[in-house]
Structure 1
Amino acid sequence: MAKKLNVTPLHDRVIVRPAKAEAKTAGGIIIPDTAKEKPQRGVVVAAGAGKKDEPVTVKVGDTVLYSKYGGTEINIEGEELLIMRESDILAIVPA
């Protein structure tokens, strides 16, 4: 498991580590960097406490699907992560 972040998101924000973009198609064709799709799946690495009447429903370690252009790219401790509102998360994927 990765190291614990020393950053805590506020309110209903979560920090997600995006999955790697696919390098090959199912048929074995290699996809160049310029044609790769942004991943829409990732793992929650930190979550805020939620709003006053709405606690956050995702927890650290959950694999989630999020909207294609949801979140803001940030760099924490040399790692590219996304910070987004919980409402940008579409689903929790079972492990």
Structure 2
Amino acid sequence: MGLKPLNDRVIVKRKDQEEKTSGGIYIPDSAKEKPQAGEVVAAGPECKTVKDGDAVLFAKYAGSEFSVDGDELIIMREDDILGVFA
């Protein structure tokens, strides 16, 4: 990927959506919600709390979605990240 975020921006790839519930019921596309978790693809030079490869939880309406080479990505401020999975 040839995109580098500036300042405190972070590029995140959203986690795959669940196809069925834990009980085995398949979820139709119209009822699916986009996951609020993902993996940091690239972090800007001023990011202090996250780094590339971190699994993160972010705010529901955070950032701007875009597509690069067929990958759906989100660019957001570091402040929109709510937590890092340990």
Which range, TM-score by smaller chain?
Answer: over 0.9
- TM-score (norm: length of structure 2): 0.95
- Report how far residue 56 of structure 1 moved: 2.8
Q: How does 1:15-94 map to 2 (within 5 A)?
A: 15-50=11-46, 55-94=47-86
Gap runs ≥5 in structure 2: none
Aligned residues: 86
Which aligned segments of 4 or more residues in structure 1 are displaced greater than 6 angstroms? Answer: none
Report Cα offsets for 1:18-42 as digits up to 9, x if no partner: 0011110111110001110110100
- TM-score (norm: length of structure 1): 0.86
Report Cα offsets for 1:27-74 as digits up to 9, x if no partner: 111000111011010000001011xxxx43200000000011111101
Give the Cα separation in 2 of the matches to 1:74 and 1:34. 21
Amino acid aligned to 1:23: E
> Aligned residues: percent identity?
57
